[in-house]
Structure 1
C-alpha cells in the first residue's frame, strides 16, 4: 500500500500521499501475468553437468583476469575471525557458576582459576552436579538443598521489628506452611535452634537493630569485563552479565555490612572453618563488588554465618 501512495507509482486510481511529494526514493514495478511465466518457461532448458562445465569454460576463456586481486580473494577465503573465543562465550553467568573465580580480589587473570568441581564448557563455567529428575526419585524426604532454601526463606520473612525468639521463628514457619509457600515435610526439618543462634550473635543483634533498614534477598546484576573471566578473550569492550541474590546487608555511617547465611555441614575444628571460608570467599567478594556499584558506598564488613555451628565468620 505504501508504494501505491508514492508519487512515482503511475496509476490512474492511485492518489499520491502529499507527505511523500519530495521523497527521493527511486523504484520501478513490473507486473507479470501467468501467461508471461508460461512463455518464460519455454526458454529454460535443463542443464546437465557436462553442459554446465562447457559453459563455464567458455565464460573463463573470455574473462580478463588481469584486474583480479588474487591476494584479496585468498584473504577472504582464508579469513580468521579475530574474536573466535567470544563466539563460544555466554553473555550471562549465574553466581553459583562463577563465584569461585573471585576468591582472590588481587587475581586479575580470573579465568586461570578452574577448580575440579567446576568445569568450563565453551567459555561458560558450569557445575557438574545435576539434581535427579523428580520422576526418578524413589525417596520423598526433603533434600538438604530444599531444607536450606526453606531456611533462607524463613530468615527472609522474619519480622525484624521485634525480638527474635524460637516461638517467633516457629510461628513464621507455620505461617509459611499455612499459606502453602512451604511444604510441611520441609518445615519439619528446619532447625529452629540454628536460626535462633544467629540472632544471639552480635551480627544477629545488629540485623534486628537495623529493623526494616536491613535489606534481605536483594537481587543484583553486574557487568564485568569478559577478559577478566575468560583469559582467552581479547575483546576489551566485551562484557559478561552476572546475576545473583544477596542474602542481606545493612548500612551504617562508615559503610555497608554484608552477610550471607550458609546451611552447609561444617567439620568441627579450624580446618572445617578454613574450608568453608575458602569455598565462599569468592561469592562474598562478588557480592561486595555488586553492592558497592549499586550503592556507591564501600562494603566495610563481610560476614558468613554458619547456621550449623552458630558462628559468624568475618571474611
Structure 2
C-alpha cells in the first residue's frame, strides 16, 4: 500500500507545467523592448509585428495600431509618447548632422511608426535642445 501511494505521488504530472517555467509578471516596457529594434532601416517597420520566441516568456504579435497612431485629435500624453518614440530612435553618431531630428521624424513616418498628423505635433526644437544640452554632450 505504501509503495502504491508513493508511486502515485511521484508519477503525478503537474497540469500547469508551462506556467511554472514562465514569469508571473512582465513589465510593459520589457515586452516593448522585445519588439523594438535599434536598426529599423535594415529590418524594416514590419519586424515589430512578428511573433518572437523568447525563453520563459509568452509573447504574441502586436497587430493592433495604438490609438495615438490613428486618431486625428491628440492629447498631451499622445504627443509626449510620440516625442519619446523619436528620442528612443536617435542615432548618436548622427546627432550633429543638419536637420537630423527632422529627418529621423520623416523616417518614422515613412516606416509607419508614427502618423503624419501626429508628427506635426512633435516639437523638434525641444528634442534638439535636449540633445544639445550639457547633460547630453
Normalization by structure 2: what TM-score?
0.48
Normalization by structure 1: what TM-score?
0.22
User: Which structure dedicates a bigger proportion of its chain to helix?
Assistant: 2
